Amino acid sequence: MTECFVGFDTSNYTTSAAICTREGQVIANIKAPLPVKEGERGLRQSDAVFAHVKNLPQVTQGLRSALQDARVLAVGVSAYPRNQKDSYMPCFLSGVAAAEAFAAALNVPVHQFSHQNGHIMAAAYSSGAVELLTQAPFVAFHVSGGTTEVLHVTPDGTDFSVELVGQTDDINAGQAIDRIGVMMGLRFPCGKELESLASLNTKKIPKPRICVREGNCNLSGLQNLAEKLWRETGDPSLVSAYTLAFVGETLEAMTEAVDEKHPQIPIVYAGGVMSNRYLQQVLGKRRNTYFAEPQFSADNAAGVALLTRRRFLNQ
């Protein structure tokens, strides 16, 4: 009988559950996106909680099918956004309730982690450098619709100790991409469609005027500049290419700020925005650089399951 660990994650975008084996292999990564009405740019927390309640029976049914002939040793859940005091979002309570009920039925322990650390672990796992990135300090970029942060990460055997060393001072990269996409009539979330449009561009891209100071960035200017370019050209491919070039140069400058303090420290890029292949090409020129695979880059529970395994085995 296979021994395994189960993880739950209920972010503001996706309901998810995952299973990893005792040996550390992810064997199920079940995800159900939260519905967003056409023309809207996200969800209120109350709507997200309601959507999770509707999605969780479907997701847990997927778990039931995947867990045949398996023995669950422990359950993990992302209970809060970050490992910080008072870090809280109501949507994560949906996952906590599901995890506690699931574990109670099996009479196994529940372990709580942050959503951010789940992202970091999923990225480390799928980058192919999980041993390197769980043995010594490294830097993680968490770039998504809700977060644009640079983190100095120290593994402690059962979780990660995280220090914030860079961030956006206004909106997040994923927010900017989605706002620009919705402006052009794309459906939220807009990242994949915007990336496809950008690949069709054949025109010269205007030079992005980025703003990065002491490792922190400003991205609200991107939205204004992209809106101006859209009014002037009406060209969705050009505007999409400009948007990605702006984000790419911004993240590149933030990476250079990391290298000034920690030369050639391993860096892993996590979060939904970092599934973008163009951004990976821009940032992948640097040595000791790793990226999550797309299915482990956007919100998912795989990292939570893997952290649960590490905590259970190391305790």
CA distances from 167 to 133, 153, 179, 223, 254 (A): 21, 15, 19, 17, 9
Q: Residue 37: its pLDDT value, please?
A: 81
- The residue type at 192: K
C-alpha separations of 278 from 1, 88, 190, 242 in Å: 43, 33, 15, 12
Q: Which residues contact 61 (CB under 8 A, 6 or more apart)?
A: none
266-to-51, 138, 297 alpha-carbon distances in Å: 37, 5, 17
Let me know the angle formed at the C-alpha of 258 by 159 and 211, rounded to the nearest 5 degrees.
120
Structural domains in the chain plus CATH codes:
2-127+295-314 (3.30.420.40), 167-291 (3.30.420.40)
**Cβ(254)–Cβ(217) below 8 Å:** yes
Does the structure show a pLDDT above 80 at 40?
A: no
> Is 40 or 5 the better-scoring residue by pLDDT?
5
Q: What is the pLDDT of residue 121?
A: 95
Q: Which residues of 205-220 are buried (b: 16+ CB within 10 A; e: fewer)?
A: bbebebbbeebbbebe
Element (H, E) at 28: strand 26-33
pLDDT at 309: 98
Q: Tell me, what DSSP letter sits at residue 205?
A: P
* Residue linked to tokens 């990976």: 280
Q: Which of 35-39, 284-288, 299-303, 308-312 has the lowest mean pLDDT?
A: 35-39
Please tell me the distance from the alpha carbon of residue 217 to that of residue 143, in angstroms, as a whole number: 12
**What's 238's DSSP letter?**
H
The vertex-145 CA angle with 37 and 272, nearest 5°, equals 105
For residue 257, pLDDT over 80 is answered with yes
pLDDT in tens, 69-126: 899 999 999 999 988 888 999 999 999 999 999 999 999 999 999 999 999 999 999 9
Using the predicted structure, report yes or no on whether residue 52 has a pLDDT greater than 90: yes
| Average confidence score pLDDT of the chain | 94
Please list the residues that pair with 261 across neighbouring strands: none
In terms of Cα–Cα distance, which of 179, 208, 216, 181 is closest to 195?
181
φ, ψ (nearest 5 deg) of residue 24: 95, 25
pLDDT higher than 90, residue 209: yes
* Run of H or E including 216: strand 216-218
Q: Are 227 and 180 in contact (CB under 8 A)?
A: yes
Work out the average pLDDT over 195-207. Answer: 97
**Chain Cα centroid distance, residue 194:** 18
pLDDT at 12: 87
Which comes out higher in pLDDT, residue 145 or 226? 226
Residue 37 CB partners (closer than 8 Å, separation 6+): none
Tens digit of pLDDT for each residue in 129-183?
898 899 999 999 999 988 999 999 999 989 999 999 999 999 999 999 999 999 9
**Of 5-14, 17-26, 29-38, 250-259, which range is least confident?**
29-38
- Are residues 174 and 145 in contact, defined by beta-carbon separation less than 8 angstroms? yes
Give me the pLDDT at residue 216, please.
Answer: 98
